[in-house]
Amino acid sequence: MSNTQSSPLADKVVIVTGASSGIGAATARALARRGAKLALAARSSEPLETLVGELGSQTALSILTDVTQGPQVQRMVEATLEHFGHVDALFANAGVYIPGEVAQGDPEAWAHLMNVNVDGVLRSVRAVLPYLLAQGQGDIVVNSSVSGHQAIHWEPVYSASKHALQAFVHGLRRQRVGKGGRVGAIAPGAVRDKIW
């Protein structure tokens, strides 16, 4: 375990959505090693509880959250504030993946993807932003994709969702100029997780 006392993340409170697996769980572990306190949100209770057990209840809080449900997202932020007293950052990571040919695709599945990948991020940001603005600091990081920069022909709907996130991040960043805090996106390529 690294020396967390000298880490700029020591005792910072970070909400991580989609924390039960993949990039979310890996990010939670990395943040915990650097001394952050974590509000871990996802739909799957068992993996969340396992991760909290691994990281320790002093470090991590499990919050069952479906980012497609506005009241649950608001409760996620409220539970974080009740438990830790403040929030310093949001890592909006929850997402789903659908590849395939548009001609054979399922529009209902696409609508669900957009609800998670785009609307879920918007809901999460909207829920936490008033608190970050009130304290004049706090960061928002959105998990986008290389597909948000280059439309990929085998995943056009997924690419569209990530392009939407890039536009949102750029616009929100400009709104927050001079108000404290940062807004950014990461753009991973292929990651070895349940999707792949």
Q: Which residues form the catalytic set?
A: 158
Burial class (CB in 10 A: 0-12, 13-18, 19+), 186: middle
For residues 54 and 86, is the Cβ–Cβ distance under 8 A? no
Q: Which stretches does DSSP call E strand in the chain?
A: 13-17, 37-42, 60-64, 89-92, 139-143, 183-186
3-class DSSP state for residue 174? helix
In this structure, the number of other CB atoms found within 10 A of the CB of residue 155 comes to 17
Distance set, CA 5 to CA 36, 121, 124, 190 (Å): 10, 31, 29, 33
Query: Which amino acid makes up residue 1?
Result: M
Q: Is 88 exposed, middle or buried (0-12, 13-18, 19+ CB in 10 A)?
A: buried
